[in-house]
Amino acid sequence: MRWVAQEWKRPPAGPEVYALQLAAGPNAVSRELEALPFAHVIPSFGDAEQDLRRLLTGLTQAGMQPGFERSRIPATGATETGTHASSHLARLWAAGEISRLAETGAPADREEAIRLAAARRLVTPVSAAVVLESVQQYKDANLQPVDPDSMPSTTTTVPEPETWLLIAVGVLLLLSTHARRRIRPQPATAE
């Protein structure tokens, strides 16, 4: 737990963390979290459901809503420790930005939304897609086919947690079968 606390102390603005103990007993995690400026240890009064309701009600009444936000950091403001987002995440950000720009109703914002949709090759309320079957059809329509390298690849994705769980269950079954064969008692022989 100490290395987690050390890592979380480094970023300039870490996430807000709320710790709620669900079972009786010593809680080494909450002791470590109490030292962090963005961690809040929530007192438990015995009923986990009521404690959780009280926490969520307090957060929503304070104007805080659980959620996420995708934003773009300009290259001039990026730090050396920053990482590049995946093309999937960049396309999600672009889709949200296009929706935001299109909702304003301003002609300049709509033009920016169209430009962003075309650059990211997204189908949105301000853009469309043409799908043809052959290169000849693209030539006949005076269109340029999409470069396959410009689209997010589905062959380099990380397996979903369900895949890892299935692999782990399979390995455990193989190990248990192997262990049973080794432990199985030998039949008694008659002498």
- DSSP per-residue codes, 81-119: T--PPPHHHHHHHHHHHHHHHHHH--HHHHHHHHHHHHH
What are the distances in angstroms from CA 137 to CA 127, 141, 143, 169, 173? 21, 6, 9, 48, 52
Comparing 115 with 67, the larger pLDDT belongs to 115
Find, among 121, 120, 122, 144, the residue nearest to 132 by Cα.
144
Q: pLDDT tier at 49 (50, 70, 90 boundaries)?
A: confident
Do 97 and 137 fall into the same domain? yes
Is 187 part of a structural domain of the chain? no
Is 172 part of a structural domain of the chain? no
Q: What are phi and psi of 80, to 5 degrees?
A: -65, -25
At 159, is the secondary structure helix, strand, or coil?
coil
Comparing 188 with 115, the larger pLDDT belongs to 115
Q: How is residue 120 written in tokens?
A: 């990211």
Is 167 part of a structural domain of the chain? no
Comparing 186 with 79, the larger pLDDT belongs to 186
Q: How is residue 18 written in tokens?
A: 């709320």
Is 71 part of a structural domain of the chain? no
Do 96 and 133 fall into the same domain? yes
Is 105 part of a structural domain of the chain? yes
Residues paired with 39 in a beta bridge:
17
Find, among 187, 189, 171, 190, the residue nearest to 179 by Cα.
171
Do 145 and 89 fall into the same domain? yes
Query: Which of the listed residues 116, 135, 150 is the one where a domain comes to its end?
Result: 150
Judge whether residue 134 has pLDDT over 90.
no
Boundaries of domain holding 33:
2-61
Is 102 part of a structural domain of the chain? yes
Comparing 7 with 161, the larger pLDDT belongs to 161
- Mean pLDDT across the chain, nearest whole number? 75
Q: How is residue 168 written in tokens?
A: 């782990």
* Average confidence (pLDDT) over 81-90: 68
For the chain, the domain total comes to 2
Question: In the prediction, which pLDDT does 92 show?
Answer: 85
Is 53 part of a structural domain of the chain? yes
Query: Which of the listed residues 61, 92, 107 is the one where a domain comes to its end?
Result: 61
